[in-house]
Amino acid sequence: MKAVMLGAGNRGFDVYGRYALEHSDQLQFVAVADIDVAKRERFAVAHGIAPAYQFSSWQDAVAKAEVVFICLPDVLHEEAALTVLAANKHVMLEKPVASTLAGTKRVLAAAQASSGVVMLGYVLRFTAFFQKVRQIVQSGALGQIINFDWRENVSSSHYAHSYVRGNWRREDTSSPMILAKCSHDLDLISWITGSQIATLSSFGSLQHFTLENAPTDAPKCCLDGCPVEETCAFHAAKIYLQEPLAFPATVISTDSSIAGRKVALETTDYGRCVYRMDNTVVDHQVASFLLENGATGTFAMHGHSSEEGRSLRFDGTKATLRGVFKASQQEIRLEPHDYQTSFHGGGEVIKFATQNGHGGGDAGLTQAFIEAVKNNTRAEPQEYLESHILAFALEQSRHSGTVLDMKTWRSQ
Ligand SMILES: NC(=O)c1ccc[n+]([C@@H]2O[C@H](COP(=O)([O-])OP(=O)(O)OC[C@H]3O[C@@H](n4cnc5c(N)ncnc54)[C@H](O)[C@@H]3O)[C@@H](O)[C@H]2O)c1
């Protein structure tokens, strides 16, 4: 499969680009567009792309293959997707579909009308862990689901990198946190329960990473002699100048040497004090749901965790499922509702091999997309709408402090 890469950043270069290099019998990138010359050249060199097929503008690259990967910033998804879909190309679109609900609906309508295969970057659907959770819940093994509780615990270092200093720190230049970070979770909740949300509410705010919490005399940039360097967990050197090299230090510069990373800290926002940024997205948000099938559920996302990961539980009339999904551990615990388990413990534990790349989801989704293009199997694009509807409804509830009836909201 020959494809074009629009946006050769972290996802474009490190995920899909890497997949193509490791599986060149399945996928090859023949053209690349990136506004950043260093990222464009890095991708072109890795994939052996001739200068005539390297572009600074994504518009110029679209025509170069029948398959297009859109890994551009969130705010460019809508325009790029509409252009690619109008040309009936196959498209792997990174999430979110668009950064507004109206834009999402426009793209999904265009996807419906296009003859190409469209896949959204909902990589977690392609993990063994979440597929097993869904299979168990939908099999009825837990009985009727009465309640679920789902947490997305974002590690404080990752939060500071992406949502305070990085690309997703402002709603107006990317998308709200509940869409940017939690669209996966909202999608999985709908996908696993198989029931629509009837009523919802949400609370949340940006509480910690604000100017009021800036240490006295902290300079604008960490490397300019910060008085709390020793004690601040977010000092840029502690996150970005560590060895061995690992995320997020890998994405601040195409030159990953210590000298290259120091230059990035001096010249980009990654070197800035986390308390003196222009970030607007929340650092904690909760949601409560009443499902149409009568079940209730809660969701919490926050950026103040020691370790990154998701935890969840589904309580049914017959059994409880508890799950942990993080880099170091992926495990489902199934406990029947009986005397023995209630008072003396028991049940079954299902362990999954931990894998890089969203627990194997990155590779799983890429393979599924390649297969879908090969066999021309088109998914129903509207299935991506619900997570976006929920994200924007939760934002409205959070801002207005109201409970939303989703039947009314959906019909607006
Ligand atoms: N599926 C997932 O789990 C997942 C995870 C992370 C990010 N994402 C999504 O993937 C997308 C890309 O994220 P990323 O982390 O790779 O970001 P990134 O910033 O590393 O990459 C984006 C690239 O687009 C380039 N670019 C910006 N404007 C451009 C333009 N006008 N023309 C051409 N190139 C342009 C940038 O230079 C950059 O290289 C985002 O929408 C993000 O939300 C999805």
Counting atoms of ligand 1 from 1, which one is nearest the CA of 175?
43
- CB neighbour list of residue 17: distance below 8 Å, 6 or more residues apart: 5, 8, 29, 43, 46, 47
Name the amino acid, one letter, at 331. E
C-alpha closest to that of 358 among 1, 4, 16, 6: 16
Residue-level pLDDT at 142? 98
One domain, residues 116 and 171: no
Question: Is 87 contained in some domain?
Answer: yes
One domain, residues 147 and 201: yes
One domain, residues 181 and 224: no
For the chain, which ranges sit under pLDDT 70?
Answer: none
Chosen domain end from 271, 302, 317: 271
Q: What's the whole-model pTM score?
A: 0.96
Residue-level pLDDT at 412? 81
**What does the alpha-carbon distance between residue 152 and residue 303 come to, in Å, rounded to a whole number?**
9
Cα 309 to the chain's mean position, in Å? 12
What is the 71 CA–ligand 1 centroid distance (Å)? 5
Of all protein residues, whose CA lies closest to atom 28 belonging to ligand 1?
35
One domain, residues 142 and 195: yes
Question: Is 141 contained in some domain?
Answer: yes
What's the total number of domains in the chain? 3
One domain, residues 200 and 332: yes
Question: Is 364 contained in some domain?
Answer: no
Of all protein residues, whose CA lies closest to atom 7 belonging to ligand 1?
11
One domain, residues 113 and 65: yes
* Strand ranges in 156-295 using DSSP code E only, listed in sequence order: 197-205, 284-291
One domain, residues 235 and 285: no
Quickly list DSSP for 61-76.
Answer: HGGG-SEEEE-S-GGG
**What does the alpha-carbon distance between residue 345 and residue 368 come to, in Å, rounded to a whole number?**
39
What are phi and psi for residue 272, nearest 5 degrees? -85, 155
One domain, residues 155 and 258: no
Residue-level pLDDT at 279? 98
Name the amino acid, one letter, at 338. D
Chosen domain end from 67, 89, 120: 120
One domain, residues 111 and 166: no
One domain, residues 264 and 187: no
Domain containing 161: what range? 125-209+280-358+386-411
What is the 115 CA–ligand 1 centroid distance (Å)? 25
C-alpha closest to that of 130 among 297, 361, 347: 361
Residue-level pLDDT at 356? 83
Question: Is 367 contained in some domain?
Answer: no
Give kind and range of the element (H or E) at residue 407.
helix 406-411
Question: Is 202 contained in some domain?
Answer: yes
Question: Is 370 contained in some domain?
Answer: no
Over residues 199-256, the pLDDT tens digits come to 999 999 999 999 999 999 999 999 999 999 999 999 999 999 999 999 999 999 999 9
Residue-level pLDDT at 293? 96
Question: Is 366 contained in some domain?
Answer: no
Of all protein residues, whose CA lies closest to atom 25 belonging to ligand 1?
7
**What does the alpha-carbon distance between residue 17 and residue 15 come to, in Å, rounded to a whole number?**
6
Residue-level pLDDT at 379? 81
State if residue 167 touches ligand 1 by the CB under 6 angstroms criterion.
yes
Q: Identify whether the C-beta of residue 92 lies closer than 8 Å to the C-beta of residue 82.
A: no
Residue-level pLDDT at 75? 95
- CB neighbour list of residue 69: distance below 8 Å, 6 or more residues apart: 3, 4, 5, 6, 12, 16, 29, 91, 92
Chosen domain end from 93, 120, 147: 120
What is the 339 CA–ligand 1 centroid distance (Å)? 52
- Cα angle 110-168-264, degrees, rounded to a multiple of 5: 125
CATH of the domain at 20: 3.40.50.720
One domain, residues 242 and 200: no
Residue-level pLDDT at 378? 85
Residue-level pLDDT at 403? 98
Residue-level pLDDT at 396? 97
Question: Is 110 contained in some domain?
Answer: yes
One domain, residues 260 and 296: no
